[in-house]
Structure 1
Amino acid sequence: MNTNTIDKLAHSLGRRDEVPNQELANAIVQCTNNEAVRELVKNLHHKSKDIQNDCIKVIYEIGTLKPEMIADFSSELINLLDSKNNRLQWGAMTALNAITAIKPEAIYNALPKIIATADQGSVITNDHCVGIMIKLCGVKEYNESVFSLLNERLLKSPDNQLPMYAENAFHVVNTKNKVAFVKTLTSRIRGIEKESKRSRIEKVIRKVNKM
């Protein structure tokens, strides 16, 4: 592959859709082009916001397909959480979610910043923050401390997102935290108007109670 990766981005090709970026991510993964990944990371600070946006898109698509290819850039991704460019911010959160299982210590240490970013961020940012927390809960040494933070997030998460969060979090519930988890979900059910969403949460509660 030509190492001038930037020429293959959607904006460089005069495209407004994401297909070129997705194709570029696939091509980079297929030939394990680490040089291309380095070029993408370097250009996250390009003077063109469109180039920045395309670069983060390709990076998190690579992370979805082959997270180890972007894992060494965890510090650069964490720093992007401070960006005033919202696309870079939630794109970085998406990429961090993809590499949490590979770099749990780095992500755990950045958790205060990750949570602070999610508190001010979009739905996508919050979704990936919760995803990061759930993955960290799967790491034995972090389970107890991160689960308490996850539980706090469930208490204040939007009604629309709560059923999905509860379903995903079920997999890291254990005998030590199940009571707190059920208490949180039970307290939230009363305020949820849509029956289908209440039903999904009630199903999670029943599964936990059978543990």
Structure 2
Amino acid sequence: MIEKIAYNLGRNDEEPNVNLAIELCETKNLDGIKEIINGLKNGKEQLANDCIKVLYEIGERNPELIADYVLDFIQLLKSRNNRLVWGGMTAISRITFLKPKEIFENIDIIISAYENGSVITKDNSISVFAELAKADKHYEKIMFKKIIEHLKTCRPKEVGQHAERAFICINEENSKEFVDILLKRREYLSESQKKRVDKLIKKIENGKFNN
């Protein structure tokens, strides 16, 4: 399967990688996925970049197929290659609901990548935090606080999107604090951002939680 990766085809676009992810999902080819993992860990940088693309595209479609490689994705967060860091966090965000224990055990690595990472890394970190908070009450105490800290300080243009990502962990007990911080940030938002935030607040007011 590794021969179908864009790098091995002499291609610079992502189409072969997406097509390969779709094929691996449709066939549930675990040996093929293992080949891609080996390419990720042992291949040249460009090959590894293509491999992580295939893997998180699989995670988007069928996260169970890549969940057992959670520790490999966590190790990517220590990479000097930014593409692998944000790709790794993207993959982790797809499987957090399946592997919350393993991910929370490595929360220091997750948080370090969040604090030092790119915009895409941060985006997907919020999804990881929210899935962890949803998964376990003990995790929620720590991760919800992290989410609130983030919403207090992130750029105004990120408030809406990140609040939407966090919404999966909002419940009757923590909703007031969530709404309070959104209302505090609201005056600094664009009209489109305000609409995104208002939609979430209305859901909470109507008791429509995602969990």
Normalised by the length of structure 1, the TM-score is 0.90
Deviation at 1:47, TM superposition (A): 4.7
Structure 1: gaps spanning 5 or more residues: none
- Aligned partner of 1:195 in structure 2 is 191
Tell me, yes or no, if the aligned pair for 2:126 and 2:165 is still in contact at 8 Å.
no
Q: Is 1:66 aligned to residue 62 of structure 2?
A: yes
State the one-letter code of the partner of 2:148: N
Q: Deviations over 1:10-51 (max 9, x none)?
A: 011011111111111111122221111112112223352110
Structure 2: gaps spanning 5 or more residues: none
Q: Is 1:14 aligned to residue 10 of structure 2?
A: yes
- Aligned partner of 1:159 in structure 2 is 156
Deviation at 1:208, TM superposition (A): 2.6
Distance 1:168 1:88 in 2: 22
Q: Deviations over 1:138-176 (max 9, x none)?
A: 214333332122111211222222112223333422222
| Cα distance, 1:70–1:47 mapped onto 2, change above 3 Å | closer
- Aligned partner of 2:141 in structure 1 is 144
Q: CA RMSD in A?
A: 1.7
Off by >3 Å, runs of 4+ in structure 1: none
Q: Is 1:81 aligned to residue 77 of structure 2?
A: yes
Identity of aligned residues (%): 37
| Cα distance, 1:144–1:186 mapped onto 2, change above 3 Å | same
Tell me, yes or no, if the aligned pair for 1:170 and 1:208 is still in contact at 8 Å.
no
State the one-letter code of the partner of 1:77: F
Q: Aligned match of 2:129 in 127, 130, 133?
A: 133
